[in-house]
Each structure stands twice: as structure tokens, then as C-alpha cells.
Amino acid sequence: MTKLRFRNSSQDANINDSNASKSWINNSLVKKLSVTSLLVIPLIILFFISFLIGRYPISPSEVLMALAAKTTLVNYNIPPSVEAVIFQIRLPRIMAAMMVGAALSIAGASFQGMFKNPLVSPDKLGVSAGAGFGAALAILFVAGPFMVQFSAFMGGLLAVGLTYMISQTFKGTSMLTLVLCGIAIAALFSAFISMIKYVADPYEQLPTIVFWLMGSLSAVTNQDILMVTLPMVVGSGILLLIRWRINVLSMGEDEAQTLGVDTKKLHIIIITCCTIVTAAAVSISGIIGWIGLVIPHITRMIVGPDHKVLLPASIFMGAFFLLLIDDVARTITTVEIPLGILTAIIGAPFFLYLLAKSKEGWS
Amino acid sequence: MSILRPSTIADRPNSDILKNCLMQVSDASFSYDGQHNIFENINFSVEKGDVFCILGPNGTGKTTLIKCINGLMKLSSGKILFNEKNIYSLNKTEIAKNIGYIPQIHNSTFPFSVLDVVLMGRSPHLEMFASPGEKDIKIAEESLKTLKITHMRDVSYTEISGGEQQLVFLARILTQKPSILLLDEPTSHLDFGNQMRTLNIIEKLAKNGLSILMSSHFPDQAFISANKVALMKGKSFIDIGSPEEVITKENMEEIYNIKVKIVDIEHRKACIPLKVNGE
């Protein structure tokens, strides 16, 4: 291996410089890290506030005592009704909102990096349409909530699996082919959903299907949360481990390959993880759009494009935003607004605002 | 007028070619469909410290040849030996540790900082799950220093000029620490001054033991920085040798179809295109 000789000479000449720049690195790293930790604080505050929201009044001290009792095994004599509301109704819902928001956001940020396109959302390869089809099918056959969730999860995996396999049979297996296959598969599964809606019983099944597709967290139980925790943690964990490689991948496939990245392997890992994470989220929440597209954007504006920081920051931002929107959804009117509607009503104008304001050249 | 003149290639003695030979390409040909070759019968070798320049008109397959050498595409037939090992027996990481590449066109999407872009050069040296640490940042900063662009460290690479971007990619390739650099028209987007500065950097890198294989549209650039030149036309090399041997009036007029004049200026030759009345 060749080493550049004049590197060494320049090193000697600039010892003072390198000390100065070293402290600079630490500063910039500290800065990046502290921005990420700043995103955690509002999330923690909102987490506690969210327990107070709802028709059954609960005081902040009751929330703190109940949580402390659960974690430290100290008994604070909390009324059983309060405990039931906190742990059986509000906690699963808060956890679900945070987990779904985080999952959609990390998947969106990873996909945007992989496709080197900031306009990509995690359902680009058909995961949402597939999950919707799985859920609708289960509802049609009068399955229980667990089966609906499981069927949605499998439907999501199936759709993306099909997209990937079909794209591999084409000659030019570029990212564009993959996206086009995803669009086709999503259209196909949407048609299947319509078909199921058409044959479904219009008084019982049809409304259930329609409400499921609009997205809601109102029926989430602690058991649902436990079910999706494993796929979400594993998928997000792997994405976090390879997050620096997504930087290299976002320079383009050819360039990444000449930088020693096995792009095909990395694509498969990212697609698999994003799909598992998204399918798990959709299986408990129904279809919630916009989060996976808008949150990575907002986060990128705050912490910059480096995926090393962007991915963890997206998790916190996504969790915060969906929790906020879900709080709005369950308080703004007496009848709950489906989450999918709210995220679009808030997300779409905000996205347009970002586009208008953005100085970054995307071309 | 025959285009292929293999005799001129064979005539020139290639002294101790195997001694310092870093890369040897033999009988290389490539085709997309198995019928029409993009290029064929390509033979050359690159030695340590060489600046090897490929000249040729648009569309002769220079870029395709370079992509075959760095493993992005696969030759239809022929061999590429790198340090006496077949390049297709190496995996992507091994290739990237030895061969650095700057593509002709780069489409940027995300506004990474210059340091982040340069750090990407460390990726063949890092494990799948690893990200660059302080040691890697140090190597990246040394590359920035070598190219005198330390002041751009934290600027977004999408907001700097094309010339500065080229320097950033050169810094990235140095951070990669390969033994051969493949540069596909490294000066194509640069102004007059930046072209010269890039060529000077290339020359300096070669003096320090790196080998460089580049393609170019300017015969003058070969006179300035190269010690070996190959002329590519009609799928093949029609001549190969030192710039003085190869960049002749006859050769230039044949491959570019224009009138040129080769003149002697301070310490070197220059190739100047002439305007012909009536054309």
C-alpha cells in the first residue's frame, strides 16, 4: 500500500493546528449530540402530559405516583380506577403513538437515504397497501383483533417481497425500477382492498375496514404493544447499526460500490428492516401517512443530513409528533378523528411550507 | 488509412514491465449484448508512479473501460490483473482498498458537510456496523490539508463550486488510501485555472508513489502531467507510449478529425487546434 509521504511532513508542520481542530471536532460532536438530546426533553414532557389528557380526570401527582409505584415497587395507595385508566387505557395508547411515530420516521429517513430522494416515504414499496389488504381480508373472514394485526403484518411483508422479487427479474435493476414496481404492486393491492370492501357486509365489516384504513390508536392494548415491540426494536436496531453506511449509499450506487460498499446486500438489509418496522407499526395503527415523509425532513433541517445523527433524531421527532397528533385526535372533538386524516391535514400543508421555504438544492 | 496499427504498439520496447507493474489489462473487451463490442483488444499496464492518460473522442468507451477496471462492470473477455491478482476475484471492499475512483458526473442529493463526504473514503476500511472514529477523522483532515481545503471542512459540499467539489472528491479518494486512482475526465467541469491546479495535484500524487489512470479530452493535459498516453478510437487503442511519441500531428488529426499543430513551448510540447478556412 502506498502512503503519501508529504502527509507526514505536513503533519509535523501543523501540530498546533491539529490540536486546535481536535477540540473543534469534540465541540461539533457535542453540538450534534446535544441537539439530539434536546429532542428527547420535549418528548419526555409530552409523555407525562399525555397521561392527563382524556375524559377521566387524573392529576399530575397521581400519574407520577402510579408510574413510580410500577417502577420502584413502592406502594402509594392509588385508586384502582385511576390505575386502570393509566395502565390499561392511556399507557398503551401513548406507547403505541410513540412507537408507531418512531418506526415510520426511522424507516422514512432510511428509505430517503437509500433511494437518495427526500420525497420517498416508507410505504413506497407497497407495505401499507399490502398491510391494508391483509387487515381487510382478516376482517372479511371475521377474525379476531390479533388475527387482523397478524394478517396486516404479513400482508405488508408479502407486498414488499413481491415488489423486490419482480424488480429483480428486470434487466436494469436500478432503484427506479424498484420504485416503479412498488407503485404497481401498491396499486394492485389497493384494488384488492376495494374488491374486499365491495363484497364485505356493508353494516359490520365495511365500516370496520374503512376505519382501519384511516388509522387509529384507540383500540390498542398492552398486548398489541408487546407483540410489535420485538420486530420494531430489531428492525430499528439494525438500521441504527448501519446508519453511517446509508450516508455512503446516498452518494449513488456506483460511487458507494467503488467505496467498497456491497450495495445489493445493504439494499436488502435496509428494505427488510424498514418493511418489518413499518409493517409492525401499520399492523397496530392502521394506515398513517405523512409521518414517514415529513418527519425525516424536519429532522434533517434541525440536525443536518448525516444519517449518523439523523436516524436517532428521527426516532425522537417521530415519537413526539405522532404522540402530539394523537393527543389532538382524542381531545379536539367528542368523536375521535382518525389519525390518518389528521396527519395528512397537518402534514401536507406543512410539507408544502417546507418546500417553499427550503434553500437546499435537491435537483 | 488503417486505424489499427498494432505494429507501432509492439515495436516499442517495454522494459521490465513486470517489475513495477501494478495493473495489467490484457485482451480486454466489453459488450452489453454479447454481439457488439463497446471496446476490444485493449492491452496496457500501469506501473507505480505512472500517470496514464487515455485520450479519445466522445463515445469510444473510455468511461466503460474505467468502470470495468474498478469492478463496476465486468469485461466480456480478457483479464485485469491487479498486483498479479485477477480483479474479479476480489470483493468490493478489497477493490476499494486498492482502487480509488472519481466518476465523471456526481449527482448530489443531501447537503453533507465536506468532512462527512471525505470521511466516506474510510468505508472500505470500516466494518459493516462501524462508523468513522477519531482516527478516521484525522486521516480525513490530513487529506483536506494535502489538498489545502481545510477551511471548507464544515461547509456543505453542495454549496461550493465545481472546482472545489473536485478537490473534495480528491480528498475523499486520498482518505480511501488506494494505490491507484481512476479519474474519469477529472477536469471536465473545471475552469482553466482549476484544470491546471488539478493536473498539478495529480502530478504531485504520482511523485509520491500513487498511480493514476485518467481519461481526458485535452491532449495538452497529457503533455502536462502524463508519462504514458493511450489513444482510443473505434473500440481499441490505436497507439500507446510516451506523450511525445503518441501525441503527434498525424495521430491527433486522425482521432479528432481536425487540423492541429504540435509546438514546443517552455519545457514541454503543446497541441494546438487550428482553424481551417472553409470548414
DSSP character at residue A252: -
Can you name the residues that pair with B54 across neighbouring β-strands? B215, B230
pLDDT for A207 beyond 90: yes
- Residues 104-163 of chain B with CB under 8 A from chain A are 106-113, 116-117, 120-121, 123-124, 126, 128-132, 134, 137-138, 141-142, 145-146, 150, 153-154, 158
Task: State in words which class domain B6-273 has.
Answer: alpha beta
B209-256 confidence digits (pLDDT tens): 899 999 999 999 999 999 999 999 988 999 999 999 999 999 999 999
Parse chain B into domains and list their residue ranges. 6-273
Nearest chain B Cα to A264, which residue? B92
Say what the pLDDT of residue B216 is.
Answer: 93
> What are the tens digits of pLDDT across the range A168-183?
998 766 788 999 999 9
The percentage of residues in chain A with a pLDDT greater than 70, rounded to a whole number, is 89
Sign of CA dihedral B36, B38, B42, B48: negative
Spatial strand order of the sheet with B180-184 comes to: B99-102, B180-184, B211-216, B51-55, B228-233, B236-241
- What is the nearest CA distance from A28 to chain B, expressed in angstroms? 10
Contact: A247, B112; criterion CB under 8 Å: yes
Here the cell at position A112 is 430517503
pLDDT of residue A8: 38
Looking at residue A219, its pLDDT comes to: 87
The mean pLDDT value for B192-215 works out to 92
pLDDT the model gives residue A125: 95
User: In the predicted model, is pLDDT for residue A126 greater than 90?
Assistant: yes
What is the three-class DSSP state of A65?
A: helix
Q: What does residue B77 show for φ and ψ, rounded to 5 degrees?
A: -150, 165
> Average pLDDT in the B195-210 region?
92
Q: Is the pLDDT reported for residue A87 higher than 70? A: yes
* Percentage of chain B modeled with pLDDT above 70: 92
Surface-to-core class of residue B155, CB atoms within 10 Å of its CB (0-12 exposed, 13-18 middle, 19+ buried): middle
Q: What is the pLDDT of residues A23-59, one digit of tens each?
A: 444 556 666 667 777 889 999 999 999 999 988 888 8
Contact B246, B231 (CB under 8 A): yes
pLDDT value at position B94?
92
Confidence of residue B4 (pLDDT cuts 50, 70, 90): very low
Picking from A262-271, B18-27, B71-80, B201-210, which range would have the lowest pLDDT averaged per residue? B18-27
pLDDT for B84 equals 87
Determine, for residues B109 and A250 on separate chains, whether the beta-carbon distance falls below 8 Å: yes
Instruction: List the single range of B18-22, B67-71, B264-268 with lowest mean pLDDT.
Output: B18-22
The pLDDT value recorded for residue A265 is 93
Residue A362 pLDDT > 80: no
Rounded distance between C-alpha atoms, residue B242 and residue B9, angstroms: 11
Contact (CB, 8 A) for A330 and A336: yes
**A114 Cβ neighbours under 8 A, 6+ residues apart:** A175, A246, A249, A250, A266, A267, A270, A271
**CA separation for the pair B260, B254 (Å, rounded):** 10
Residue of B nearest to A303 (CA): B112
**Would you say residue A160 has pLDDT above 60?**
yes
Q: Has residue A131 got a pLDDT over 90?
A: yes
- Is residue A73 predicted with pLDDT exceeding 60? yes
Give the model confidence (pLDDT) of A286-317 as tens digits: 999 899 999 998 899 889 999 999 999 999 99
The H-assigned helical ranges of chain B are 6-11, 62-69, 92-98, 114-119, 134-146, 162-175, 192-207, 219-225, 243-246, 249-256
Mean pLDDT over each residue of chain B, to the nearest integer: 88
The x, y and z cell numbers of residue B267, run together, are: 519545457
Half-sphere exposure for B117 (CA within 13 Å, toward CB): 31
Residue A269 parent element (H or E) = helix A263-285
Question: Which residue of A244, A260, A262 is in closest CB contact with B97?
Answer: A260
Residue A107 contacts by C-beta under 8 Å, 6 or more apart in sequence? Answer: A122, A235, A239, A273, A274, A275, A277, A278, A281, A292
Q: List the B77-82 sheet strands across, edge first.
A: B37-47, B21-31, B77-82, B85-86
pLDDT over threshold 70, residue B111:
yes
Residue with the bigger pLDDT between A188 and A66: it is: A188
Mean pLDDT of chain A: 87
Mean pLDDT of B142-147: 94
Structural domains in chain A? 56-356 (1.10.3470.10)
**Range scoring the smallest mean pLDDT among A229-243, B2-16, B115-129:** B2-16
Q: Which three cell numbers stand for residue A57?
A: 380526570
Q: Is the pLDDT at A212 greater than 90, yes or no?
A: yes
Q: What is the pTM of this model?
A: 0.88
User: What integer pLDDT is reported at residue A278 of this predicted model?
Assistant: 97
On the 0-12 / 13-18 / 19+ scale of CB atoms within 10 A, A346 is middle
pLDDT score of A94: 96
Residues in A closer than 8 angstroms to B145, CB to CB, are 7, 10, 14
Judged against a pLDDT cut of 90, whether residue B109 lies above it is answered with no
Q: Is A4 in Cβ contact with B109 (below 8 Å)?
A: no
Structure confidence at residue B277 as a pLDDT band (50, 70, 90)? low
pLDDT in tens, A1-16: 333 333 333 333 343 4
Cβ-based contacts of A6 with chain B (< 8 Å): 146, 204, 208
What ipTM was predicted for this assembly?
Answer: 0.86
Q: Is A72 within 8 Å of A100 (Cβ atoms)?
A: no
Whether residue A21 has pLDDT greater than 70: no
Q: What backbone torsions phi and psi does residue B156 show, to the nearest 5 degrees? A: -75, 135
* Residue A363, pLDDT above cutoff 80: no
Please tell me the distance from the alpha carbon of residue A108 to that of residue A247, in angstroms, as a whole number. 14
Nearest-CA residue of chain A relative to B116? A306
pLDDT of residue A238: 97
What residues of chain A lie within 8 A of the CB of B142, using their CB? 7, 10-11
- Closest-CA distance, B178 to chain A, in angstroms, reads 7
Closest partner residue to A260 (CB to CB) among B93, B131, B210 is: B93
Looking at the complex, report in whole angstroms how far the Cα of residue B71 sits from the nearest Cα belonging to chain A.
Answer: 8
